[in-house]
Amino acid sequence: MNNFKEAILTAIILFPIVALLITLPYVIIQYHKYGSINKWRTIIVYSFILYFMSAYFLVILPLPSEEFVLKLSTPIYNFRPFSFIYDIFTGTGLQLNEFATYFPTMKNPLFYEAIFNILLTVPFGIYLHYYFKCNLKKTLFFTFCLTLFFELTQLTGLYFIYPRPYRIFDVDDLILNTSGGLLGYAIGSLFLKIFPSRDEIDEQSYDEGQKVSFLRRVVSFFIDCLLIFILLFFTGLIIWQAKISKGWFLLPIIFYVTICLIFKKTVGMSLTKLKFVSFRKDKVTTIAMFIYYFWFLTLNFFLPLSLIILSYILKSLNYIKEVTFEYSVVVIGAYTLMILIIGFLKRLFHLRLSNEYLSGLELKSTISKPD
């Protein structure tokens, strides 16, 4: 029981880190495929990740020391199927015709460890049936593969990190875990009656994806900013190593904007399935796009950088005592927050953004429902 608590607690502690790492890829994939982020799908996906982490830690924790493992002389495998039934009867004193032996048996580790092995993969079977729409054969196959992965993890001593296995490879675990997946498959039918099905979730996602939400714009903008930052970073390294003119710093931005003008969309727009349309009923011209991007860069790059440059100028004129890195971060952070708040309020009241007014362009979704 203590091992169970340790595994669950470890999964809960590490889950926020894993969730943080996968959030941006998850958001991009959702916007690219559906044009929206469905709340129910997000709960399912992230809870599945938390479940898998918990199950994995249940298999490997607690981690022993290498000295402890070297002293082990216990068997490393058991290939006798259903030996757990014999162990329960002989180790607990269970007698089927005597009801009084049932309760003591249920408190015995031999019994509840077998039950835990079944329960371990019940959620996996539920997820496979309910969300991933697997039939009985696929559920059986994938549950067996998951169980085999767990057992091989134990057999290899955590992928040969340890000199020998510290847990036994047990064919009974394969049987019990696979049975748990099949039980979960049966329970999954109940979930389909209570909660929205995968098809209903997809249908709702596609409907929501026809609109361009504020978050979708922010994600598209963030992707473009991230790419420009990466380009600037590597350009800066080249400039620093080669000791060439710092004027080359503008090259990544010019290159990126040129590519966007040619293809009439940014990388962020492509990944989030957005396109330009003219609300003035004109064509999407290069001039309009240039105005859109120029004002976009002015608001989001040139103005905040100008604020930092102005701070250094004021420092040189002794109006400011010192300009620190922390000060620059605060200035840029405050400016970015202000831009985000203004943008959110404009979208909330269905107002156009400043670069949309100037260029006559707006963003539309390119998501279409599959036939």
As given in the structure block, the two tokens for residue 158 are 């955590």
As given in the structure block, the two tokens for residue 57 are 């830690």
Residue 299, SS3?
helix
Please give the backbone phi and psi of residue 56, each rounded to the nearest 5 degrees, phi first. -65, -45
As given in the structure block, the two tokens for residue 129 are 């049936």
Query: Where does residue 243 rank: exposed (0-12), middle (13-18), buried (19+ CB within 10 A)?
Result: exposed
Please give the backbone phi and psi of residue 165, each rounded to the nearest 5 degrees, phi first. -65, 140
pLDDT at 164: 92
pLDDT at 245: 62
Buried b (16+ CB within 10 A) or exposed e, 287-304: ebbebbbebbbebbeeeb
The DSSP code for 302 is: I
Decide if 265 contacts 277 (C-beta within 8 A): no
Q: pLDDT tens, position by position, for the chain (371 residues)? A: 567 788 889 999 999 999 999 999 999 999 999 999 999 999 999 999 999 999 999 999 989 999 999 988 888 888 899 888 888 888 777 777 777 777 777 777 788 888 999 999 999 999 999 999 999 999 999 999 999 999 999 999 999 999 999 999 999 999 999 999 999 999 999 999 999 999 999 999 999 999 998 899 889 988 988 888 888 788 777 777 766 665 666 777 777 778 888 888 889 999 999 999 988 877 888 888 888 888 877 877 778 777 777 777 777 777 666 667 677 777 778 877 887 788 778 777 777 778 888 888 888 999 987 76
pLDDT at 248: 66
Number of residues that make up the chain: 371
CA separation for the pair 188, 14 (Å, rounded):
27
pLDDT at 275: 92
No. of helices (H) and no. of strands (E), the chain: 18, 4
pLDDT at 297: 77
> Strand pairing partners for 361?
278
Query: Where does residue 99 rank: exposed (0-12), middle (13-18), buried (19+ CB within 10 A)?
Result: exposed
CA separation for the pair 340, 127 (Å, rounded):
37
pLDDT at 346: 76
pTM above 0.75, yes or no: yes
| Closest to 274 (Cα-Cα) out of 213, 225, 227 | 213
- In angstroms, the Cα distances linking 54 to 8, 39, 162, 273 are 5, 22, 21, 35
| Closest to 220 (Cα-Cα) out of 307, 343, 138 | 343
pLDDT at 2: 63
- In angstroms, the Cα distances linking 236 to 204, 240, 297, 306 are 45, 6, 19, 19
As given in the structure block, the two tokens for residue 123 are 């959620």
Helix (H) or strand (E) holding 278: strand 274-278
Please give the backbone phi and psi of residue 146, each rounded to the nearest 5 degrees, phi first. -65, -45
As given in the structure block, the two tokens for residue 180 are 């748990």
pLDDT at 122: 96
Decide if 302 contacts 368 (C-beta within 8 A): no
Other Cβ atoms within 10 Å of 103 Cβ, number? 8
Residues 6+ apart with CB under 8 A from 292: 276, 355, 356, 358, 359, 361
Decide if 125 contacts 180 (C-beta within 8 A): yes
> ∠ CA 195-200-203 to the nearest 5 degrees?
155
Residue with structure tokens 């040969």? 160
As given in the structure block, the two tokens for residue 202 are 């997809």
pLDDT at 243: 67
